[in-house]
Amino acid sequence: MNGAGPVIGFWALAALTLVAAGGVMVSRNLFHAVLFLIVSFVGIAGFFVLLSAEFLAMAQIVIYVGAISVLILFAVLLTPRAGRDNGETAVFPAAALLAVALAAVFLFVIYDADWATITSSPDVSVQAIGDALLDIWVVPFEIASVLLTAALVGAIMLVRTPEEEAEDALA
């Protein structure tokens, strides 16, 4: 890919993602913050498209925009109204310090890393990803799925109330 198109696309997506990420921080309303977060997820999916990793872009949309954001929205809605304000709290200085430290680490890594340019574009087709997941990386893949299943069962066990248990025992 060469020409002006990818460059314009990159800067437009970068602006979109960064503005949305800033919006997450400055918006006082938690619901608006989540919506900004979704926009920044979409922007990152756009970066994956620019890198010709379209499967990753689709996965980003399915998982982050389709599932995780919706879960965050639910969490925001189901918490009491007092928890909905995104204003200053007592942990603000600590959080700011942590953010600065994290940014420093990231900048250090970005400037220190040896960014080699690959000459041949890697095979990022769906078939190659599937082969890799079920061939070389099959153990981490299975461990991740077992972990997710355990988390699912655990979450269901946690949210069951004694009344529901009693109801089931009755039936």
Partner 1 sequence: MPLPILATNNWYDFRDLSNFSRLILENLDKILPHGIVYVVAVLLGFVASFLIFVLPSQLIVGVYGERKLIGRIQSRYGPNRVGPFGLLQPIADAVKLMQKESLMPLRGDVIVMNIAPLIFVAPCVLLFAVIPFGPRMIIGNIPSALIYFIAVSGLPVLAAFMAGWGSDNKYSLFGAMRIVAMSISYEVPLVLALLGVVLFTGTLSLQGMVFWQRDLNIWIAFAQPLSFAIYFIAVGAELNRTPTDIAEAESEIVAGYLTEYSGMKWGLFYGMDIGYALAASAFAATVFLGGWSFFGLDKWVPPWLIIVTKTQLFYMIFIWTRGTLPRLRVDQLMAFAWKFMLPIAIANLFVLATERMMWVRAFDADLKFVWVFVPINLLFTAGVVFAWARFLGYRPENTPRKARLVNQAGGFIPLGGAKGETRP
Interacting residue ranges for partner 1, rule: CB under 8 A: 29, 31-32, 35, 38, 54-55, 58-59, 61-62, 65-67, 69-70, 73-74, 77, 125-126, 167, 170-171
Please identify, using beta-carbon distances, which residue of 94 and 167 lies nearer to partner 1: 167
Which two structure tokens, joined as six digits, stand for 79? 């918490």
Q: Smallest distance from the beta carbon of 101 to partner 1, in angstroms?
A: 33
Q: Smallest distance from the beta carbon of 54 to partner 1, in angstroms?
A: 6
Please identify, using beta-carbon distances, which residue of 103 and 151 lies nearer to partner 1: 151
Q: Smallest distance from the beta carbon of 150 to partner 1, in angstroms?
A: 18
Q: Smallest distance from the beta carbon of 100 to partner 1, in angstroms?
A: 31
Please identify, using beta-carbon distances, which residue of 21 and 124 lies nearer to partner 1: 124
**Signed CA dihedral, 98, 47, 141, 71: sign only:** positive
Please identify, using beta-carbon distances, which residue of 17 and 60 lies nearer to partner 1: 60
